[in-house]
Amino acid sequence: MNKTFYITTPIYYVNDKPHLGHAYTTIACDVLARFKRLDGYDVYFLTGTDEHGQKVHQAAEAKGMDPQKFTDEVSQNFRDLLPPMNISNNDFIRTTEERHKKACQALWKKLVASGDIYLSKYAGWYAVRDEAYYGEDELKDGPNGTKIAPSGAPCEWVEEESYFFKLSAWGDRLLELYEKNPDFIQPDTRRNEVISFVKSGLRDLSVSRTRLTWGVPVPDAPGHVMYVWIDALTNYISALGYPDENADLYKKFWPANIHMVGKDILRFHAVYWPAFLMAANIPVQKQVFAHGWWTIEGQKMSKSLGNVISPYDLIENYGLDQSRYFLLREVPFGSDGDFSRAQAITRINADLANGFGNLAQRTLSMIAKNCDGKIPSHADFTAEDKALLKEAHELLIPGMRREFDKCAFNRGLEHFTKLVYAANAYIDVQAPWALKKTDEKRMQTVLYVLAETVRCLAIAIQPVTPDSAAKMLDQVAAPPDQRAYAHINAAHALKPGTPLPTPEGVFPRIQTEEKAA
Ligand code: MSP
């Protein structure tokens, strides 16, 4: 019973408001965390905020605020969002916390001691006005041989002292890591991209800045703060108590089972992070999974287009559980997806309202009317009954597990919808409303089989739609301590005679007609 599972979201930049993209990563992690808990794992689920660096500093200045005060506020926005999204994280890490700075500095010292960090010069095109370096290819020519940044700011060639991490020395060991652990980077297409990037040759990485003050101070190097990515990535171990390698959480949960990230930040997690860890002689994470990006009605989500969807909009327009379901059901997790209102409504109505909701509603209202509001008793099961119960008891969870273990949430959920459709087809064929007049015992058996199927479906779908599933389980009077995946079997089936509450619809239909303006 010591199966553990450590899962992390990226830590979010505090220079932006939480939106659908952030919610997506966090919800996916939450679903997997809940799935694993129900499946008997001891789970640790971490999320948090990334609070250092130039952009955050600038955002604070633009508001005339002290950066610490500013980050306190914005970080709180991200934290406040977790309960309304029903996120079951175990901890929330902030990179401005002491425990985190301590971990970064300890990791840094290890990298210095192993000879992987050295002092040199960083050179590049720098815009004082933007406080940023730009790549040559981003710049336009200005008058008299000057260079102009995309923002319009003039750039100058500057050199500054910087510490470097010897990333170039780690290429072969990274390739060996990917080779020996084919699942280290998922999905496979992303894995191949990273492998060719590493094969093309790695350059040493500048890991400190002197033109910036808002960051973790480099130990024994006044004037230097750490480059944001070495700081940010370390959150995954600082939250477990590193540098104390005997800390309970660290011993129990490191290395992480999965770092879930968007495709844009895969390289940092699949190349830099394992290189830092190997250099510091710390075990590397087991997997990085890069998910795709959402566009909105075919367009990139952006402030200037005014199409940014906040998680609160989702909850208000579609319902929380419905939104969680749609985001994971609609698009394969590694692919990009488009969020369209029409598609969201179609999917939610088909699978949840007309599918699962209707199945439960039909079953439970017939039981309320015809079986004295109690779980009916049943006679011997027919082949059709047995086939449906077998799907529910024996095939549903293994099918979902196979796919969820690969983060193929959409395919995992197909096992759920498949059983919903099978049960709706069963009810139509068996027609318990007709049996009422001809064979009451058989009607009871059919309703029993249906209620038991609803129980199993509700248990299975808990990670994705936690509140609605709990309501559904209350409706079939499933004992609260028997709602784990281990309880989906005949031994824990509904007990005839158990009184049921008055049935209530759980997944309302979303009206498709927009109200006239
Ligand atoms: N702070 C870094 C991560 C450091 S992790 C050690 C960062 N933060 S972020 O706030 O910009 O992005 C966080 C996550 O949101 C990323 O995984 C990113 O892919 C995701 N998304 C942002 N916009 C998105 C969409 N439009 N669609 C899907 N996910 C997107 O990067």
Read off the amino acid at residue 403. E
Tens of pLDDT, residue by residue, the chain (517 residues): 579 999 999 999 997 789 999 999 999 999 999 999 999 999 999 999 999 988 898 889 999 999 999 999 999 999 999 999 999 999 999 999 999 999 999 999 999 999 999 999 988 998 877 767 888 888 999 988 889 998 899 999 989 999 999 999 999 999 999 999 999 999 999 999 999 999 999 999 999 999 889 999 999 999 999 988 999 999 999 999 999 999 999 999 999 999 999 999 999 999 999 999 999 999 999 999 999 999 999 999 988 899 999 999 999 999 999 999 999 999 999 999 999 999 999 999 999 999 999 999 999 999 999 999 999 999 999 999 999 999 999 999 999 999 999 999 999 999 999 999 999 999 999 999 999 999 999 999 999 999 999 999 999 999 999 999 999 999 999 999 999 999 999 999 999 999 999 999 999 999 876 544 3
pLDDT of residue 514: 56
Q: What is the largest CA-CA distance in the chain?
A: 96
Ligand 1 pocket residue status of 21, Cβ below 6 Å: yes
Domains of the chain plus CATH, in order, are 341-492 (1.10.730.10)
CA distance 476 to 364: 8
420 alpha carbon – ligand 1 mean position (Å): 34
CA distance 105 to 221: 11
Atom of ligand 1 nearest to the CA of 16: 10
Looking at ligand 1, which residue's alpha carbon is closest to its atom 9?
12
pLDDT of residue 516: 41
pLDDT of residue 399: 98
Burial 115-126 (b: 16+ CB within 10 A, else e): ebbeeeebebbb
DSSP conformational letter for 374: B
Ligand 1 pocket residue status of 25, Cβ below 6 Å: yes
Percent of the chain predicted with pLDDT > 70? 98
Return the closest-CA partner of residue 5 out of 34, 48, 26, 47.
Answer: 34
Ligand 1 pocket residue status of 236, Cβ below 6 Å: no
CB 29 within 8 A of CB 280: no
317 alpha carbon – ligand 1 mean position (Å): 23
Looking at ligand 1, which residue's alpha carbon is closest to its atom 21?
21
**Which residue out of 17, 29, 46, 50 has the highest number of ligand 1 atoms within 8 Å of its CB and is therefore the one to mutate?**
50
Read off the amino acid at residue 488. I
Ligand 1 pocket residue status of 368, Cβ below 6 Å: no
CB 22 within 8 A of CB 10: no
Cis before 84 (ω within 30): no
Q: What is the DSSP string of 84-109?
A: TTT---SEEEETTSHHHHHHHHHHHH
Ligand 1 pocket residue status of 13, Cβ below 6 Å: yes
pLDDT of residue 1: 53
pTM of the model: 0.95
Atom of ligand 1 nearest to the CA of 263: 19
pLDDT of residue 513: 61
Q: Which residues contact 27 (CB under 8 A, 6 or more apart)?
A: 85, 87, 324, 327, 328
pLDDT of residue 144: 85
377 alpha carbon – ligand 1 mean position (Å): 52
Return the closest-CA partner of residue 49 out of 19, 24, 25, 15.
Answer: 15
The count of residues in the chain is 517
CA distance 254 to 47: 15
pLDDT of residue 417: 98
Kindly state the helix (H) or strand (E) to which residue 274 belongs, with its residue range.
helix 273-279
Cβ atoms within 10 A of the Cβ of 517, count? 3
Looking at ligand 1, which residue's alpha carbon is closest to its atom 11?
13
pLDDT tens figures, 435-456:
999 999 999 999 999 999 999 9
Ligand 1 pocket residue status of 53, Cβ below 6 Å: no
Cβ atoms within 10 A of the Cβ of 395, count? 13
Structure token pair of residue 104: 């970064």
DSSP-based three-state secondary structure for 161: strand
72 alpha carbon – ligand 1 mean position (Å): 20
pLDDT of residue 515: 47
Ligand 1 pocket residue status of 294, Cβ below 6 Å: yes
CB 122 within 8 A of CB 162: yes
CB 273 within 8 A of CB 233: yes
Rg (alpha carbons) of the chain, rounded to whole number:
27
